[in-house]
Structure 1
């Protein structure tokens, strides 16, 4: 089991307390299980602090909290003991909101996993507004009245699964969804009432029109909900931070690696490629009947939400771990920037989607906005660029620049030596764009464009662990403070050339 390296004391002491002290926490088994789920995600120190900042108890104080002399955990101020901290952390109040589509029906264990997962996410601070779904509802030829009864009956199974897990849920339908002109309007009163009473609202996609109840597609309801919640100005917590889709088949199939699912999708860049892959693989429409419709729905929803919002498609077989891991680390389960050879790729078949950023490629220095590029490099590296020396060199050796959005990220590649060899001169992400998957998106684009490349990093660089994981080889250069890395299957043949290049590149910063 992977552990919280930065809160080992928290783990051992709390698990012991909740095992032995049945009077303090009646639901001791539930608490232990939830703590184990969180600890199994094994986040880094930065990820743990980011999670606690977003979902930790909101207690006002100026005094830091130390866990009995152990490392301070930021984001949990004002708590005197690990037990008090966990009690507050697991209080059933929502800190962020997810719009969740549950594509049933499932077998009994599947329903139990769904109910258990939604309740655990609520306890960790991510509450769901759930829209129930069943792909068979679309082909049901019965009358609207009979179909409505069926939808209500099947949605009650989800309510029951949440309540059997220990949570509370409320079935909502009728006057919540209404048609005004050609648009669907949302009445948030019942939904907000459920959230405020620690209930998970289960919205049945039934529209009221001319005093009649008419079934609609769940994706229509999700998009209407997103539009309504994104535009409300009452409560910032009501702006969804996640779109969740729970189904049987899992995430979006990866046409580049048959038999696997995409780990991360940059919707702006990859939407057309995924549609094209389904056209070229007609059998996917039977194996993944809802994927394209869900992709379109997610694209439309994320376009209305902040860039920090994301979506995730997960099969019931990967619950609850896949969603809890994503909640704690705010990352895909498998990094798409990792080398593919010899690795087990996304066995959970879970896909994280972000609205993403447009990526542009340049080959001429004159086509770049050097002022913006300089600002990006200085913000990312926290150093001042020696502009005359740096750009003077790039005039001669620039091979390509990959720019994300409005200079929110950049890859600068040069052509070096007699190979010539592709050298990663700069890889930069703006501080304001960290945590939205841009690093993986740019790294993958770079590796696709440059199958063989090298770069260097100072030996004390905190990013080196990340580099070690993504390189095909490395060498510590004697007599220098540099580590040479390379990507590509042929790099080991060029180590001597690579070492000469890495030693010869002049400094870029003052």
Structure 2
């Protein structure tokens, strides 16, 4: 638990990966090692720990292990896969090596090389105390509409609490074993699992890539990897950056193909599913932290220019994400949907007439995520200063990285801005971390925040604006 999850994150983890209705995050956070703190009708501490660490397949990951590695690297991979299984995430592993298709071996010789190298992975899993099954053939075959996956051998492995390790070979129409790429295998497996979802079979909760290089290099912050990628919005700019940088193409030869594969898989999976790319040097902590918190290791919305600290573990989390739309006219907005979003987010009744009448006079821009799943409302106040009037995320869209996505988009568009928050607002810790300064306004319940290096020069104007903005809500939201 060095990942230090919040109570909300821990509850989400237990609900998703350790389904025990009588156990809550409160029991863990209060100290599960102390028997006096656990109600008598709940498992004893020792039995609870045994149950928590019992291998299970409550959730599945399709994991590509992109070698080759030194012996220490293989050991780290095997140990990590076993630890994740004990925490409730069992991997369907696909072995891969970019060099396999560079060498001039015959298909038969290449197949032998694949088996030999993949055995190192199987042995590392078993050395770590897990059980693995090597699967060579019988999973992929050439079909009428492309590569078709058969899951019988994989399901048999999972039923026996084994980690299936698939060698990327396909049975051709002529009946021969033909080597294919690991990415082709992962796409075929994911699509097959999605199609059989009607049988209440699980779909992948995560697509995982373990390699030597780590995550997708960040063209906006040289020397670091992207912490979080909103695939729908950022795919084109990332591919364009690689097209313009020949050195990157040579240094990270599988980065774009991995991004393409993840994009294809996430487009078929639920929005709760995500992908993560991690180097062996960051195992096991990076994957365990991502599993428990379901977040990137570093928030992309944090203002940090120290590249040594920004994502030093070179781990990238990817989500299918959501389309972002920009508006600068109130009449172009769907006010009914925007009202529902703000009221569900703030759990308060919006003063629609007062709020929208004012907005028509001062709106600077509205950043809307998807089908009104999130919104940033910016106004232009006296002195030409930009004010963050509303930042709202629908409860149903929380936990998918949308907050960081919108915050980053807002800061890129408005490099100097201010906002206010009530002093007892539980979100203030998050605001403190992302602001460049703050001031508690005397004789009010407001805290003034600002973003931008020059904000301190405008404190008086900022304070005047924060004091003058009328209340937007009339009271608590009454649910009927």
Shorter chain as denominator, the TM-score bin is over 0.9
Structure 2 length-normalised TM: 0.94
Q: TM-score, normalised by structure 1?
A: 0.89
| Structure-2 change in CA distance of 1:393 and 1:72 (3 Å) | farther
Correspondence 1:225-264 to 2 at 5 A: 225-233=189-197, 236=200, 238-264=202-228
Residues 149-228 of structure 1 mapped to structure 2, 5 A cutoff: 149-209=112-172, 210-228=174-192
Once the two structures are TM-superposed, the CA of residue 94 in structure 1 deviates from its matched residue by 1.1
Alignment correspondent of 1:385: 350
Task: Report the 3-state secondary structure (helix = DSSP H, G, I; strand = E; otherwise coil) of the residue aligned with 1:233.
Answer: helix
Instruction: Show the counterpart of 2:361.
Output: 396
Q: Name the residue aligned to 1:7.
A: none
Residue deviations 1:305-351, cap 9 Å, x none? 00010000000000000000000000000000000234720000000
1:438 and 1:346 mapped to 2: Cα distance?
Answer: 19
Structure 1 unpaired stretches of 5+ = 1-38
Deviation for aligned residue 1:58: 2.9
| 1:50 maps onto 2:15 in alignment | no
Q: What residue in structure 1 maps to residue 434 of structure 2?
A: 470
Q: Report the Cα offset of residue 182 of structure 1.
A: 3.8
For residue 348 of structure 1, the aligned residue among 305, 308, 313 is 313
Q: 1:103 to 1:342 in 2, by over 3 A?
A: closer
Displacement of 1:57 in angstroms is 4.3
Corresponding residue for residue 450 of structure 1: 414
In structure 2, C-alpha distance between the alignment counterparts of 1:353 and 1:201, rounded to whole Å: 24
Q: Contact 1:263–1:351 at 8 Å: present in 2 too?
A: yes
Cα distance between partner residues in 2 of 1:235 and 1:490: 58
Are 2:292 and 1:292 aligned? no
Q: 2:44 aligns with which of 81, 84, 92?
A: 81
> 247, 270, 273: which one pairs with 1:306?
270
For residues 478-500 of structure 1, what are the alpha-carbon distances to aligned partners after superposition, in whole Å with 9 as ceiling and x for unaligned? 00000000000000000110000
Give 1:502's match in structure 2, choosing from 455, 462, 466: 466
Report the RMSD for the aligned CA atoms in angstroms: 1.8
Contact kept, 8 Å, 2:227 with 2:311, in 1: the verdict is: yes
Higher deviation after alignment, 51-60 or 294-303:
51-60
Task: Show CA shifts across 1:237-269 (max 9, x none).
Answer: 520010000000110011111110000000000
SS of aligned partner of 2:188: helix
Whether contact under 8 Å (2:286, 2:313) holds in the other structure is yes
Deviation by residue 1:265-309 (Cα, 9 ceiling, x = unmatched): 000000000011111211001111100000000000000000010
Deviation at 1:56, TM superposition (A): 2.1
Separation in 2, partners of 1:383, 1:106: 54
Offset of residue 70 of structure 1: 7.6
The 1:85/1:457 distance shift into structure 2, 3 A limit, reads same
Match of 1:416 in 2: 381
User: What is the number of residues matched between the two proteins?
Assistant: 467
